[in-house]
Structure 1
Amino acid sequence: MTAKPRSKPRYAELGDLLRSGIERGDYPVGSLLPTELELCERHEVSRHTARAALAQLMSAGLVSRRPGAGTRVIAQREAMRYEHGIDTVDMLMQYGNSTRLKVMSCTRKVADEAMATRLEMTKGKDYLHLVGLRLEEPTLDPIAVTEMFVPVRTGVPAEKMLDSHTASRAVARFLDASRLSRVEQVFDAASFTPDEAKLLGIKRNEPALRVQRRYRGTEDRLMMLAVSLHPPGRFAYSMVLSRTTR
């Protein structure tokens, strides 16, 4: 009788088995998984297969591995992950088209000296401060909390941005790719405030990936500063850098 062919590689089957055990609570968060050698003996697999299965769990954000310290469970379920690849301004704006911005609040403020410097504007002039959630389509799961700072100048749809019913659409139209000359981005580590953590449904002490974007229009004028905080495992940013010759 011919053996039925496997639908998955052996390492993937073992990875799924371990994942199910983690989700059931057989391996609670903070506990150690069996060693590679123990997995080999228990499941009759090679060391390479065991290592590949554990690597699969690492990629899913379920475990962490340290030499000499074993494989420790760090999450019971795989976190939602939004991955976005980009190498042009047009592709960056596709991120806005493939996700949804939900503006939670918008206020008009007067810039003090520090904010005026930050927004490249005159002290005492008005700016808009918006706070919103970036939601994944179509699940509407939150992937970031975003603060937006907009100097109030000619061409800024301030009244529409101040209206919660029209703010999200006004932001999208304001940042249309055809109006942008460039976007400057800075990535670093940060932490969430209690209010920000509550919006995303996470613990207040979770680390964050902070993405700061400065959107510039004609004559290099700053149109908006947007600061987004992403929880661990919910967002990945990829780009391809090509070497050119002249």
Structure 2
Amino acid sequence: METRYAYVARLLTEAIADGRYPVGSLLPNEHDLADQFAVSRSTVRAAMRELQNSGLISRRKSAGTRVEAATASPASGFSQNLESIEAVQQFGAETERHVQGVADIVADADLAAALDCQPGRRWLRVSFLRRIPDTPEAPPICWTDVYLDADYAEPLRERIASHSGIFGTLLEAVSGRRIVEIRQSIRAVGVPAACACALQAEPGSHALAIRRQYFLSPHGMAEVSLSIHPAERYSYQSVLKRHAGDPSDPADMPRA
């Protein structure tokens, strides 16, 4: 029997494939889609996740849901297009965090190098798995260790269990300051043996390691996240555009 969200996802996939929603266009908002299909908004959100995981759409806060492809990608997992701090926050809103442990940590030389901080700095570490909602049979998207500035450890510790978004928004709430910059680096690694079992992956198998450093205003790194994404469970997308008036643009080059 087809579930409601699968039904909505199938009809939207068909509408995209036959051109009713061309590549580059925006889908109706959740409220309008819920009315159109006579379902709840939570059902629409589940259907949107299916389309996003298939590479058909991208979702950005305050920018809507954009059609990115006419046919689904064969790859499975979570696809993300990051262009802003808000897009990183949206990732936290669209996935589930399953906390595995919380600990007070003092950075030794190896950890300091991984975080790009001074040895001896104190952190509150939160370790967790991220999963796509409503897919209990699917393996986790990633294992993440988040390191939060120890100056905010106590108020953060009290609110970790009840907070569903990314920790950056929680850090803003307890510090009274805004995140003004996120620096991200991505590299290829093997799945570490320490988290391979939890990730349901073979130790040493292909993975992406993503480090994000969060900077609060006016300056100062107050959070670092280190994530391990096994192969084919996550893809990172970006769009590169030429600046207007670029002299290398053929449209701007003199003609004979």
TM-score for both structures, normalised by structure 1: 0.59
CA contact (8 A) 1:119 1:151 kept: no
AA paired with 1:214? Q
Correspondence 1:40-189 to 2 at 5 A: 60=74, 80-112=76-108, 115=111, 123-140=119-136, 141=138, 142-153=140-151, 156-158=152-154, 160-161=156-157, 165-166=161-162, 171=167, 173-175=169-171, 179-189=178-188
- The alpha carbon displacement at 1:194 in A equals 2.0
Please tell me the root mean square deviation across aligned C-alpha atoms, in Å: 3.2
List alignment gaps of at least 5 residues for structure 1: 1-7, 9-55, 62-79
The whole-number CA distance in structure 2 between the counterparts of 1:124 and 1:85 is 35
Give the number of aligned pairs: 171
The whole-number CA distance in structure 2 between the counterparts of 1:214 and 1:107 is 19
- SS of 2:141 mapped into structure 1: strand
- Deviation by residue 1:83-117 (Cα, 9 ceiling, x = unmatched): 11121111121111111122211111233455456
- The alpha carbon displacement at 1:149 in A equals 1.5
With over 3 angstroms needed to count, the CA separation of the structure-2 counterparts of 1:213 and 1:116, relative to structure 1, is: same
AA paired with 2:145? E
Name the counterpart of 1:33. Answer: none
- SS of 2:88 mapped into structure 1: helix
Correspondence 1:155-234 to 2 at 5 A: 156-158=152-154, 160-161=156-157, 165-166=161-162, 171=167, 173-175=169-171, 179-234=178-233
The whole-number CA distance in structure 1 between the counterparts of 2:164 and 2:153 is 11
The whole-number CA distance in structure 1 between the counterparts of 2:88 and 2:167 is 15
With over 3 angstroms needed to count, the CA separation of the structure-2 counterparts of 1:186 and 1:206, relative to structure 1, is: same
- The alpha carbon displacement at 1:118 in A equals 5.8
The whole-number CA distance in structure 1 between the counterparts of 2:100 and 2:164 is 9
After alignment, is 219-228 or 164-173 more displaced?
A: 164-173
With over 3 angstroms needed to count, the CA separation of the structure-2 counterparts of 1:200 and 1:99, relative to structure 1, is: same
CA contact (8 A) 1:107 1:162 kept: no
- SS of 1:96 mapped into structure 2: helix
The whole-number CA distance in structure 1 between the counterparts of 2:235 and 2:171 is 22
Name the counterpart of 1:243. Answer: 242
AA paired with 1:84? Q
AA paired with 2:218? E
CA contact (8 A) 1:212 1:228 kept: yes
AA paired with 2:74? A
List alignment gaps of at least 5 residues for structure 2: 1-13, 15-70, 246-256
- SS of 2:97 mapped into structure 1: strand
With over 3 angstroms needed to count, the CA separation of the structure-2 counterparts of 1:121 and 1:197, relative to structure 1, is: closer
**Runs of 4+ with >6 A deviation:** none
The whole-number CA distance in structure 2 between the counterparts of 1:169 and 1:92 is 10
AA paired with 1:145? W
CA contact (8 A) 1:103 1:132 kept: yes
AA paired with 1:101? R
The whole-number CA distance in structure 1 between the counterparts of 2:111 and 2:196 is 24
The whole-number CA distance in structure 1 between the counterparts of 2:80 and 2:162 is 26
Instruction: Determine which structure has more spread, i.e. the larger CA radius of gyration.
Output: 1
- Deviation by residue 1:103-148 (Cα, 9 ceiling, x = unmatched): 2111112334554566566654421122111111232541000111
